[in-house]
Amino acid sequence: MTIRGDKKDQKFYVIGISYEKADAEARGKFTFFPETVEKFVSDASLNGLDYYFVVSTCNRTECYGFATSAEELIQQFCRFTEGSVEEFRNFVTIKEGREAVEHLFRVSSGLESQILGDFDIIGQIKIWFSRFKKQGSTNAFLERLVNTAIQISKRVKNETLLSNGSASVAFSAVAFILNNYKDLANKNILLYGLGKIGRNTCANLVKHANGAQITIVNRTREKADVLGDKYEVIVKDHTELISELANTDILIVATGATNHTITEEMIPFDKEMLIIDMSVPENVAHSLATRDNIRLLNVDGLSKMVDDTIATRKAAIPDAEAIILELMQEFGEWLKTRELVPYIQSFKSRLQFIQHSEVHNMKKDNMELDENEIILASKLVQRMTNQFASYLLENREQAEDTYELMQKMFRLKEA
């Protein structure tokens, strides 16, 4: 699978950091935020980068794109994170060409998720790609790539047992609570932050944490009210957060901010509490874990507590990989066809030039031309183009030689 950028010296890369090499604290330094996209695209254009997109989740942040080297992408990416290039190199994963394509397909299928089979990632890929597409930093290759990744995700989810059972980060938080608290009747649970993970956690709490008093707090009150009405849980205004913390037994933080949203002074020193931080970068101050009466758990800790369904999921890996292989081959065929497009367009353009030139000369000589004759000539150009395209597709290994011959015969411009 040969992958070329529009600029001849560019190749396709993915550079990224994930849970495999970096803990939550390290990943947090390289979290990429939506509000950064516009500035990133503007800066990248000045540095000669045209086609790329970034995906940033709690478990991984990756940049896919065309560049002259992986180092070029790394330098560009790190300018918009809190971490340095030197730190990034300690954790970075780099893949090129076919391996980069396959990596995205494996990520989208759930095979590379921290919790095997977790499909939340595909939703994030779609959202992040859309953000970059709006800024004009994507092309036909990336569009087809992401659409194929979406197709793989759907097929793996529908045709295999890779997502069988409940084994998500949101469910793991609730499972941990249920395993450590036999009686939740007198426990106050506060959920702070209502992004996707927060909403999923709320749904799992309502379903499984029978008897507990569940309260939700969010910076945007309207979003909290909608969820409060849906699940019939208590909603408090963001200004009431401090007073609610004083009465909280179990705090779940899913705020996804760039800094700590829960700090030492917000929690009474003598308060006993379980705090589950589901945010990356971590939004709960590490120093709280030094208190004897507080137990602090983060995303990495949750991921180690997944239920027995993982064994079933592991058995489905070959089925998922077979789907990826099938669609990798389809993507490769599309890519080969795409490589021939410049040859075909050049051939057609030359034929159209000859047609228009002849029509112009005939009109110049005051020859009357029937409209049907012009239409017929256009159809002939298209038919010859189709014939040329078919020959190239059937004889791809001789495509360059064939084009060189046509170039000499029809004086084609270089594709």
The DSSP symbol for 413 reads P
Contact call for residues 369 and 362 (beta carbons, < 8 A): yes
Phi then psi dihedrals of residue 68, to 5 deg: -75, -20
Closest CA to 297 of 162, 408, 400, 174: 174
Q: Helices (DSSP H) in 181-303: which residue ranges?
A: 196-208, 221-231, 241-245, 299-303
Core vs surface per residue 79-108: b (16+ CB within 10 A) or e:
ebbebeeebbeebbebbeebebbbbbbbbb
Q: Has 58 been annotated as catalytic?
A: yes
Closest CA to 27 of 114, 129, 118: 114
3-state secondary structure at position 10: coil
3-state secondary structure at position 80: coil
For residue 285, the Cα-to-chain-centroid distance in whole angstroms is: 28
The active-site residue, picked from 58, 63, 78, 202, is 58
Closest CA to 377 of 396, 362, 358, 395: 358
User: What is the Cα–Cα distance from 241 to 269, expressed in whole angstroms?
Assistant: 16
214 Cβ neighbours under 8 A, 6+ residues apart? 189, 191, 202, 205, 206, 231, 233, 234
For residue 41, the Cα-to-chain-centroid distance in whole angstroms is: 17
Beta strands in 147-230 (DSSP E): 188-192, 213-217
Q: Which residues are catalytic?
A: 58
